[in-house]
C-alpha cells in the first residue's frame, strides 16, 4: 500500500512539473522580454538586442547612429548624448523625421535604437518601419533602453544641455 501511494505521489508530482514547465515556456515565448535561450533576433535575423555595455562600446567607437524612438518631449527632456529623435508615432512626424535623417541612415554605420526599456516596443516598431522602407543592414536595439544607459552613468543630455 505504501509503495503504491508513493508511486502515485511521484506520478502526480511529475505531471505538475511538466505542466508548469510547459506553461512557463509558453508565457516566456509570448512575453516581449522573455528569457532567450538563444540570441534574440527577429525572423529575418536583422535585429539584435544588446546590453548597455555593448551599446557604450559602439558609442565610444562612434560606430553607430543612436536613434531615440520615444516621443519628442521625452527626447528633449533627456536622451543619450548625440542621439537623434525619430519617434514611431504619430506617423506624420515619424515620416518627416525619417526623411530629415535619410542621408544619415544611408551612411555605412550601424543603427542603434532605444526607447524606455524592455516593455517598450517602439524600438522594434521603428526598426521594422526602417526595414519596410528599404533599410537592409542590421539594427541594434538597446534591450533595457534609456533607463539602463542612464543608470550606468553613461553620457546623457537633458533640456538644459547638462550631462
- The domain limits of the chain are 1-30, 47-158
Q: What is the value of pTM for the model shown?
A: 0.71
Is the pLDDT reported for residue 61 higher than 80?
yes
77-102 per-position pLDDT tens digit: 999 999 999 999 899 999 999 999 88
* Higher-confidence position of 149 and 41: 149
Residue 31: pLDDT band with limits 50, 70, 90? low
How many Cβ atoms are within 10 Å of 40's Cβ, its own excluded? Answer: 15
What confidence score (pLDDT) does residue 162 get? 64
What confidence score (pLDDT) does residue 38 get? 44
Does residue 66 contact residue 140 with C-beta atoms inside 8 Å? no
Does residue 146 contact residue 115 with C-beta atoms inside 8 Å? yes
What confidence score (pLDDT) does residue 40 get? 44
Quote helix, strand, coil % in the chain, to nearest 5. Answer: 50, 15, 35
Nearest alpha-carbon partner for 125 in 99, 85, 92, 88: 88
145-158 per-position pLDDT tens digit: 999 999 999 999 99
Q: What is the CATH number of domain 47-158?
A: 3.40.250.10
Task: Give 110's strand partners.
Answer: 64
Q: Average pLDDT, stretch 2-13?
A: 87
Nearest alpha-carbon partner for 74 in 52, 89, 55: 89
What's the grid cell of residue 51?
Answer: 546590453
Amino acid at each position: 500500500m505504501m509503495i503504491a501511494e508513493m508511486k502515485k505521489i511521484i506520478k502526480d508530482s511529475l505531471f505538475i512539473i511538466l505542466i508548469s514547465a510547459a506553461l512557463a515556456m509558453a508565457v516566456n515565448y509570448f512575453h516581449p522580454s522573455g528569457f532567450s535561450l538563444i540570441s534574440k533576433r527577429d525572423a529575418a535575423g536583422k535585429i539584435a538586442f544588446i546590453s548597455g555595455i555593448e551599446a557604450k562600446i559602439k558609442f565610444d567607437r562612434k560606430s553607430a547612429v543612436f536613434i531615440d524612438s520615444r516621443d519628442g518631449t521625452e527626447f528633449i527632456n533627456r536622451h543619450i548624448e548625440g542621439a537623434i529623435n525619430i519617434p514611431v508615432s504619430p506617423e506624420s512626424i515619424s515620416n518627416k523625421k525619417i526623411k530629415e535623417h535619410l542621408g544619415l541612415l544611408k551612411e555605412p554605420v550601424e543603427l542603434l535604437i532605444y526607447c524606455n526599456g524592455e516593455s517598450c516596443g517602439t524600438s522594434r516598431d521603428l526598426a521594422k518601419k526602417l526595414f519596410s522602407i528599404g533599410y537592409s543592414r542590421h539594427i541594434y536595439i538597446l534591450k533595457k533602453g534609456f533607463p539602463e544607459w542612464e543608470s550606468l552613468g553613461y553620457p546623457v543630455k537633458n533640456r538644459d544641455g547638462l550631462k
